[in-house]
Amino acid sequence: MLIEQPPLLLRLLYPAALWRMDKEDKSVYLTFDDGPIPGITPWVLDVLDKYNVKATFFMVGDNVRKHPEIFQMVKERGHRIGNHTYNHIRGFEYRSSNYLSNTDKANEYLHTDLFRPPHGHMRWCQYWTLKSKYRIVMWDLVTRDYSKCRNGKQVFENVKRYARNGSIITFHDSVKSERNMKYALPRSIEWLLAQGYRFKIFD
């Protein structure tokens, strides 16, 4: 649970970040990290279209540079875009000036006011600078679709166990998540709809 649903102590590290939306609203916010990736992101878009669901894609700048046509496809289908750095780097492992420059470089392609740090890692000075430029979006439920220790059914069970009003739910449109995500995503959407949840994107 400490991974799937971050505890209060972790949420307090970045108090201005969005971890969960309105607890009184029976809605969830579906998000995807690490794309765009050929063969994976387009598949996600088709699934979302099937259920008339909009989502937010936190994209890696270099992936957008390499696959601009998929980036454009995401925008044209009405989804929200977020910054996930240019090279998917961990804030703790870089000097703040280099990390912030990497984020700025990504936004030359993305042009967004949303940011999610890869792995959820930011130094305090990085966080304070970034929150003046972006709405920092973390998560209330990480599905762990990327985990080699999980299968698709277990990823789906994470959604069923931890989803709640206002949850920001994180999947990954990436190669390492492909098998688990392709099993769990459509089933998760169907289950959430059956429970009466609406899907929203960030204003």
Strand partners, 81: 57
Report d(CA 81, CA 133) in Å as an integer. 15
Quick count: other Cβ atoms within 10 Å of Cβ 195? Answer: 11
Report d(CA 13, CA 167) in Å as an integer. 19
Whether 67 is catalytic is: no
Structure tokens belonging to residue 31: 């998000």
Query: Which of 58, 55, 61 has its CA nearest to residue 77?
Result: 55
End-to-end CA distance of the chain: 29
* Torsions phi, psi for 115 (to 5 deg): -140, 140
Active-site choice (33, 140, 145, 173): 33
Active-site choice (88, 140, 172, 173): 172
Whether 172 is catalytic is: yes
Report d(CA 177, CA 40) in Å as an integer. 10
Show which residues are catalytic.
Answer: 33, 172
